[in-house]
Chains A and B, each alone.
Chain A
Amino acid sequence: MNHHRLVHGVAAISAGAAALSLTACGGNLGGSSAEDFPNGAINLTVGQDAGGSTDLIARALAEPVSDDLGVPVPVMNKPGANGALAAQTLAGENADGQNLMVINASLIAITSLVVGEDEVVSLDDYEIVTGISQDDYVLVANADSGWESFEDLEGSGQTVDFATTGVGTGSQLSQELLFNQTEVDGNDVPFDGGSPALTALLGNQVDVTSIQLGEAYPQIQAGEIVPLMVFSTDRNQYLEDVPTATELGYEVPVAQYRAIAAPKGTPQETIDTLKESFDAAFETQAYQDFNTNALLTPYQVDGDEVVADWTEQRETYEALIAEYGIDMGGDA
């Protein structure tokens, strides 16, 4: 029954995305454990609370993947320690592809720079199925400040209180890097997530904050807050007019990336089958609409590329932190 569905699924993908079917070949011919795949429901764990952007992405993908593989794909939230709790649990699951997780690059590349050694989550413990998308950080100021660009902020000559979404987040890293590269004095004020940081900015409790675009966009549209720069190497497709940090001469290559991870040792055939299925999901109109609405930039690369990218990011961040003498523990 499952086998039949699988063949059917593979056929559907091949029709839908011809280019990707090249990697699909081995799917049904491999080792015994991979042959049974998928054997029942595939659990997709999210290391964050329900309702957050990671959760929404997982749910947007679970449905088309479930349709494609013909098995249920329940999304389970297991929040804790920035996703480390869920990642630790996943590493201990059977390596049969029945347990997956949406993993965030910040957990690998940024949080690991802050937490104790036993808490560091390493990509060595996982197989990466596929990259999903990129979520850019944007530096925003309250419209009341009168600042329209980062030059205005620099020209003000004042000490800038910047809100972060917490210790060991991309929000903190991006602003720490930025304010360590400018003449402006910055004051790190950690909040507990994007929404409180934004609220503090709207209430003029702080001067700027760096938050994910999806969280900032409605207020940018409403004219309440002004985007000063985007922390990505290329301009963001949703904010064409806003310069990147790189363009302005700052070395702040920070963005949030997400990927699908499986336990280490999952057979390559199973990974391939899953990759095809996720690729098929990426192709669906519903998912593409979701991506646009959530202001996400596709990052649908294969596992090896994710590992290479994130490893490089981690090294870059580590080097930058050392270079600018940044204390990620906050300078309170």
Chain B
Amino acid sequence: MDIAPVIDGFGVVLQPENLLYCLIGVVVGMLVGVLPGLGPAATIAILLPLTFNVEPVTAIIMLAGIFYGAQYGGTITSVLLRLPGEASSVVTVFDGYALARQGKAGTALGIAAIGSFVGGTVSIIALTLVAPFIASFALDFGPPEYTMLALLGILLVAAVGNGSRTKAFVAAGIGLLLATVGRDGFTGAERFTFDSLSMADGLDFVPIAMGIFGLAEILHSLENREKLAKPPAKVSNPWPSRSDLKQSSGAIGRGSVIGFVLGILPGGGAVLSSLAAYGLEKKRSRTPERFGKGAIEGVAAPETANNAAATSSFIPLLTLGIPANATIAVIFGALLIQGITPGPGLVEDHPDLFWGVVNSMYIGNLLLLMMSIPLVGLFVKILTVRASIMAPITVLITLIGVYTVNNNSFDIVLVIVFGVLGYLMKKAGFEPGPLVLAFVLGSLLESNARRSLILFDGDVAGFATRPISGTLLAVLVVVLALPLLGLLLRRDRRTPSGGIAPGGGPTPGGTPAPDGTPTDPAPEARSKEEAPS
């Protein structure tokens, strides 16, 4: 491996401007992690236009900071208020809040911060080694391989959605349909454009993301102004004791690996990996009954895993141009705005961007580790800012922001339309994540499937005979078959669920959708894991 660009990447990060944006990113990320309702996808979508005038690498450093910073912040409210600020911190509630009630909130937060740091760092190192390797054969990914990847992505996204799998598939279906709008790239035919030039290129991803994540979340949270539990007056002694550390070290190690592996998978990411890591610890433990009643591993494992996953989910984006989850999809949009199409050429053509972003994560994680404890009090206070002040300002920023991207007032209309749609979907229990991801993957799927068929002269068997696409096809079949198999097995012997297989297969229990509002933290999961009431 050529080490020079990696070193140069540090030079990029250490430029004062990039350091500043990294700091801004992680602080904002931590903040939105604390605020329930506003997830990283929403925040990044809203802030997209602000990144317009800075260098691409600076912009992505900040947006990435928001993403992994949110994984830290989400812990705080989970532990203190039993209110996961972030979907990926839902499982942290079980033991984190129990610890807080035992007066050990500081210990829980400390372990979570250390776990997050370790998980993040392990994942960056692995990313540094793995990403160039993937990128080196990324050129072998042609239309058939992309077809399979997109198909796999859509399937996993829909499958790991909220409790109702049907609703997730419906949402993904709508996303696929929306992807068909615009001039057909193969025949020039107009599809659903209603003779509007604004729709000739299809619907733009940015206003959709800003509407369905940003505006919809704001509307939704206005309606759900819950009375917050009073946080404990004082968080004492955030540094965990030696025995706590010793008890958590295994969980942190395993959490790092699970997080890294699941983060790479399309549709995986932070939420799934936190559940998987929690499940594994509980299964391994000699005293599983402690879980839910204040087991420190129950905080360490998911918090480590979600951070590791947040980091590793950059791999498919930066090497293949495939977004692994909804938040990464928005970052994908940010790169496009900057005139950079993420794909196989990225590592080689933009090494400063690639390594700059990757290396900024070391710094960002260090900053987060240093800040997470002292800033706890401040963040909890922010929770008390009235929504009637926050919401209008955010809406205004969103609408002005989207206009500045393309100087097109049609985009403002799109944000409002999709904001309302997203709000209605939330009310009806549909998660927006599958829709947005299916929208992004849909155009990839269609154009690559059609390209493949041209290359194969219409022979569908071509998908199976190429080594990489054939392998992906096999994975696809397994993914499709697994839930059916699981269903059969469960019918055979009614095993108690609770363990979650770390393999990316759809989980039997209720997994909160990526970027879903965590205000209603997966009731199924809660009852199953016996969360404290």
Chain A residues proximal to chain B, CB less than 8 Å: 49-52, 55, 76-81, 84-85, 88, 114-116, 118-119, 161, 166-168, 187-193, 195-196, 199-200, 202-206, 328-330, 332
B407 CB contact (under 8 Å) in A76, A116, A200, A202: A76
Check B454–A200 contact: CB distance below 8 A: no
Check B186–A200 contact: CB distance below 8 A: no
Considering the complex of A and B, which 5 residue pairs feature the smallest CB-CB distances, nearest first? A51-B339, A205-B142, A203-B139, A81-B200, A114-B188
- Shortest distance from the beta carbon of A58 to any chain B beta carbon, whole Å: 13
**A161, A190, A191 pick with most chain B CB within 10 angstroms:** A190
Q: Chain B, 461-501, contact with A by CB distance < 8 Å: what is the 0/1 string?
A: 00000000000000000000000000000000000000000
A145 to B251, CA, bound (A): 52
Chain B residues within 8 Å of A79, by CB: 201, 406
User: Nearest B residue to A330 by beta-carbon distance?
Assistant: B186
What are 22 sample pairs from A and B whose C-beta atoms fall under 8 A apart? Answer: A49-B336, A50-B337, A78-B407, A78-B408, A79-B406, A80-B197, A80-B406, A85-B408, A115-B183, A116-B195, A161-B455, A166-B185, A167-B188, A189-B451, A189-B454, A190-B186, A190-B451, A192-B447, A199-B343, A202-B139, A203-B139, A332-B453
A114 to B454, CA, bound (A): 20
A204 to B141, CA, bound (A): 10
Chain B residues within 8 Å of A203, by CB: 139-142, 344
B454 CB contact (under 8 Å) in A118, A187, A199: A187
Check B183–A81 contact: CB distance below 8 A: yes
Check A49–B339 contact: CB distance below 8 A: yes
- Shortest distance from the beta carbon of B444 to any chain A beta carbon, whole Å: 10
Chain B residues within 8 Å of A332, by CB: 186-187, 450, 453-454
Check A168–B455 contact: CB distance below 8 A: no
**B187, B198, B337 pick with most chain A CB within 10 angstroms:** B187
Chain A residues within 8 Å of B140, by CB: 203
A118 CB contact (under 8 Å) in B195, B407, B457: B195
Check B185–A190 contact: CB distance below 8 A: yes
B190 in contact (CB, < 8 A) = yes
- Shortest distance from the beta carbon of B96 to any chain A beta carbon, whole Å: 44
- Shortest distance from the beta carbon of A326 to any chain B beta carbon, whole Å: 13
Check A195–B185 contact: CB distance below 8 A: no
A181 to B3, CA, bound (A): 49
Chain A residues within 8 Å of B221, by CB: none
Check A189–B197 contact: CB distance below 8 A: no
Q: Chain B, 384-399, contact with A by CB distance < 8 Å: what is the 0/1 string?
A: 0000000000000000
Check A81–B197 contact: CB distance below 8 A: yes
B180 in contact (CB, < 8 A) = no
Check B197–A195 contact: CB distance below 8 A: no
User: Nearest A residue to B201 by beta-carbon distance?
Assistant: A80
User: Nearest A residue to B142 by beta-carbon distance?
Assistant: A205
A189 to B457, CA, bound (A): 11
Q: Given A78-B407, A167-B185, A167-B188, are A119 and B197 neighbors across the interface (CB < 8 Å)?
A: yes
Check A85–B407 contact: CB distance below 8 A: no
User: Nearest A residue to B141 by beta-carbon distance?
Assistant: A203
A55 to B339, CA, bound (A): 10
Chain B residues within 8 Å of A119, by CB: 197, 200
Known: A50-B339, A118-B195, A161-B455. 11 other contacts (CB 8 A): A49-B337, A50-B337, A85-B198, A115-B188, A119-B200, A167-B187, A189-B454, A192-B185, A203-B141, A204-B142, A332-B450
